[in-house]
Chains A and B, each alone.
Chain A
Amino acid sequence: MAYSEKVIDHYNNPRNVGTLNKESKFVGTGLVGAPECGDVMRLQIEVGADNVITDAKFKTFGCGSAIASSSLATEWLKGKTIDEALTIDNMDIVEELALPPVKIHCSVLAEDAIKSAINDYRVKNGLEAIVLEKSHH
């Protein structure tokens, strides 16, 4: 299967690879997927004043599309407010990266990772976790 240019670009030059201090109350961490399934994503956000995401980092175990999806997600997250971040839909990622149907689960995982990171941040800061609609996989 040939990858789209954007997937290859994110794969070769992944943006925002790294680790934020998960103990910090300004940091939310989402760890989704399972090694048995061949995909694990860890996405972290750092939230500043006015609920704006000031930094985002990821590490992903998975195929090229999974790495590209999480790399793209971190790029999109930076500068967004939490509420804006929650509107990121997996199909936006599919479209941007031109993922084939067999790779849609990679984008779903990235969306789950965003929501899971936001919830981690919310719970740490005494807010209620947002109920996640069970994503379609």
Chain B
Amino acid sequence: MKQPIYLDNNATTPLDPRVLEAMLPYFTEKFGNAASRNHAFGWVAEEGVDYAREQVAKLIGCTEKEIIFTSGATEADNLGIKGVFEMYKEKGNHIITTVTEHKAVLDTCKHLEKQGARVTYLGVKEDGLIDLQELEAAMTPETILVSIMYGNNEIGVIQPVREIAAIAHRFGALFMTDATQAVGKIPVDVIADGIDLMAFTAHKMYGPKGVGALYVRRKNPRVKVTSQMDGGGHERGMRSGTLNVPGIVGLGKACELCRLEMESEAIRLSALRDRLESTLSQLEESYVNGNTQHRLPHVANISFKYVEGEGLMMAMSDLAVSSGSACTSASLEPSYVLKSLGLSDDLAHSSIRYGLGRFTTEEDIDQAIAITQKAVLHLRELSPLWEMFKEGIDLSKIEWAEH
């Protein structure tokens, strides 16, 4: 079977063969436990971890001691938010986040609400960016943490991180960011950006699944989190559990490759993305979702009105993409991110997310354009809504039997 074209790199990225190569010895001859201090097996594993820590630190501009390895971004989000809430309880109980965060942040905040946290969920503007004045107005003396994502997974918009950090700090709160989609794709510098905690993961930047990290600032201010996983006291007591040495080595290598190739990749991918987007936008009644100035270089999110996203993906079986359509999730609710932009449900149902990546070629994009165009036209032939639209019927005036 011919493999479909993979344009779902926001979901996960393929492992770069160079990363795999770096990892392989740590499965076999370098199998030691990095915490074994008394023999060569342990030392070799520890060396691998230390080197990876340097590679990671270099990518985001921090020191090695500020990296806590985790099982991924979800765990890092949990550790950062819950860890800060528990550590700074005395100072206050207020957390500010946004409605467009990943569930790993939103559901963690919901969990903390049951433990006495007060959480403000900031809305976003039509372009997906938060309103800084709204953030400022929400700050209180009890605010201990502002947790706002760097780049959005569905629409790719980049929040004004530096301005957000400045506001948080002015009110004495910490600033955490879920930078899962941003790290390795655009320059992220924790010092320049004013970040106190940052979650990210290997498998969104051509590393392996099951490994990620939380950056925890050690200076100005020294940030502490209570551990959420107790045991052997690994990772400076913040995250116990035998280190996933091959995974960590893979994360390190992935970070190094991103650091070296990010700049040229961003130029290449944004050119491909722009071509995809501008060509597909020429289809009648198609709409690009989210701010197009401040966004990640590799993401496009487009709604093709009057066709339903899942049906559309089925017509594009040679293309691996994702949709904000309800039908792709168990909940039958369309994307909450798109809805928070003020998109109507029907447009949210009609959205397709294209996530380009390191292995996306120009030819892939040409084919993706052709496949999408053909599928949209085909499904519009089948769509009663398209026919009604073409007849000039105002669909909003129809009394639909909601079910």
Contacts and interface: CB of A to CB of B under 8 A. Distances in A.
Contacts of B309: 38
A61 B314 contact: no
Given A33-B403, A34-B403, A63-B314, A39 B308 contact: yes
Interface stretch (B65-73, B124-132, B233-241, B376-384): B376-384
Contacts of A63: 308, 310-311, 314, 325, 327
B346 A59 contact: no
A105 interface: yes
A35 B382 contact: no
Contacts of B330: 102
Contacts of B285: none
A42 B400 CA distance: 12
Given A38-B325, A38-B349, A64 B382 contact: no
B403 A37 contact: yes
Interface in B362-403: 381-387, 395, 400-403
A73 interface: no
Contacts, number: 92
A114 B344 CA distance: 28
Given A38-B308, A40-B400, A66-B311, A60 B344 contact: no
Nearest to B395: A35
B385 A35 contact: yes
B334 A38 contact: yes
Looking at chain A's contact residues, is the secondary structure mostly helix, strand, loop, or mixed? mixed
Interface in A109-134: 109, 112
A62 B381 CA distance: 13
Interface residues of A, number: 31
B189 interface: no
A3 B314 CA distance: 9
Contact of B327 (A31, A34, A38, A41): A38
A33 B400 contact: yes
Given A33-B403, A34-B403, A35-B345, A41 B384 contact: yes
B402 A34 contact: yes
Contacts of A88: none
12 contacts: A11-B315, A34-B401, A35-B345, A36-B346, A36-B349, A38-B325, A38-B326, A61-B306, A63-B310, A63-B314, A66-B311, A112-B403
Given A14-B382, A35-B345, A112-B403, 15 more contacts: A11-B314, A17-B381, A33-B400, A35-B395, A36-B344, A36-B400, A37-B345, A38-B326, A38-B327, A38-B349, A60-B382, A61-B384, A63-B310, A63-B327, A137-B403
